[in-house]
Amino acid sequence: MGRVIPLSRPSVGSLEREAVERVLVSGRLALGPYAAEFEKLVARFVGCRHSVAVSSGTAGLHLVVRALRIGAGDEVVTTPFSFVASSNCLLFERARPVFVDVEPDTMNIDPEMVEAAIGRRTRAILAVDVFGHPADWARLGAIASRHGLSLVEDSCEALGSAFGDRMCGSFGDAAVYAFYPNKQVTTGEGGMVVTNSQRIASLCRSMANQGRRPERGTSSRPSVRIGPSPEARLGRNEERGAGAWLEHVRLGYNYRMSELSAAVGVAQMRRVRRLLGLRKRVARWYEERLRELPGVLVPQARPGTEPAWFAYVVRLEDGSSRPAASRRHRLLEGLRARGIECSDYFRPIHLQPFYAREFGYRRGDFPVAESTASRTVALPFYAEMSEAAVDFVCRQLRRLL
Ligand SMILES: *Cc1c(COP(=O)(O)O)cnc(C)c1O
């Protein structure tokens, strides 16, 4: 005992340390070549034409909502089983999230429910790849185009997930990734908007930078090597003169990503396949040990998809005499007492105190999401987790059941 197995832990090493050091030495801590390089690496990896690095996933979602001109009175069909930011980004602009229930097996938004919820004021569908498991982008895309709606992908948990032969993040009008330390790739705090639309990319870039004019062709700026490039030393941005810097052509924010964060991101993207491979291996270790365990449902990839494994979330089976929520509570407490960090995400957004108060949602409004949420157990999961640690967690879990 004594040692705690964390719920998550970033995989950072010498590559990240050296990159950050180079930024510090270069003296260029903002608006430099690393953000541009990070953008290029992510765009190429995902297969999208444009990308804009931002300060968080939430900031990225906010910019996409604004770029799509979704505003007061507009409705957006979205999922209640998600991290609260996927819905808050609509409230920032006084749009109304219209929640619909989720599929019981994937925990993702149910396309049939989406279609039924579309009305006169509906402007967009915002779907989430929950825990890295792809939403049904084929059907969601078809529904969006049949009804003339925008499609927004909250792929904040899904960098590297694939639906068919395409990456999550390449299906909608725009998608957002996040780089908080528990995500597949981290920059400490950070996010990225990806899109094939030049218009959306330029708007996001401008709004992220205080409404300044977007530099043209930013996503195709020349590649830089890790290290202080001549371009970085020259400080090109100041050379462009104060004119552009002091002119604000639209309402903007400071949602930029710093060069320190971007340097970490560049290092992470240089080994992204390895990072994803390690996570997949940990998921397989869990599955081997838990798939036959009575009372527990292990996560299953939807046929034709390849999840990038953000978290490893099992569900307690329904149908025991005791309510799942209280069985789950005892299980979480038991795991924690044995030095195993665990969690019960997600609590459905509509039942979060703020949403319930503001919009009058009640228990029972979205039964599948609520039932799912009462049974989830997120187990420790990170790229460098050892097989022995997985073994320990599974043994304790078995004992507690
Ligand atoms: C992580 C995450 C976000 C964005 O989070 P930030 O902390 O703002 O980077 C948005 N939606 C979902 C579903 C997430 O998991």
Please name the amino acid found at residue 286.
Y
Ligand 1: distance of its center to the CA of 26 in Å?
A: 31
The predicted structure's pLDDT at residue 242 = 65
β partners of residue 315:
297, 376
**Number of the ligand 1 atom closest to the C-alpha atom of 130:** 13
Ligand 1: distance of its center to the CA of 157 in Å?
A: 7
pLDDT tens sequence across 351-387: 999 999 999 999 999 999 999 999 999 999 999 999 9
Res 107 pLDDT > 90: yes
Distance CA(7)–CA(221), nearest Å, equals 38
Res 217 pLDDT > 90: no
Residue 126: CB within 6 Å of ligand 1?
Answer: no
Residues 6+ apart with CB under 8 A from 316: 295, 296, 297, 324, 327, 328, 331, 375, 377
| Whether residue 346 has a cis bond before it, omega within 30° of 0 | yes
Distance CA(375)–CA(332), nearest Å, equals 11
The predicted structure's pLDDT at residue 3 = 87
Task: Out of 38-42, 118-122, 300-304, 335-339, pick the least confident.
Answer: 300-304
Ligand 1: distance of its center to the CA of 360 in Å?
A: 24
- Is the separation of the CB atoms in 384 and 282 below 8 Å? no
Over residues 99-116, mean pLDDT: 97
- In the chain, % of residues over pLDDT 90: 90
Residue 82: CB within 6 Å of ligand 1?
Answer: yes
Ligand 1: distance of its center to the CA of 322 in Å?
A: 33
| pTM exceeding 0.85 | yes
Give the pLDDT band of residue 230 (cuts 50, 70, 90).
very low
Neighbours of 166 (CB within 10 A): 14
Distance CA(248)–CA(156), nearest Å, equals 29
What residue owns the CA closest to ligand 1's atom 5?
57
Ligand 1: distance of its center to the CA of 346 in Å?
A: 12
Distance CA(10)–CA(189), nearest Å, equals 12
pLDDT tens sequence across 182-191: 999 999 999 9
Q: What are the helix (H) ranges across 103-241?
A: 111-117, 137-147, 198-208, 230-234, 236-239
Q: Which residue has the tokens 């010498």?
A: 14
Distance CA(285)–CA(342), nearest Å, equals 17
Give the pLDDT band of residue 323 (cuts 50, 70, 90).
confident
Provide the mean pLDDT of the chain. 93
Residue 129: CB within 6 Å of ligand 1?
Answer: no
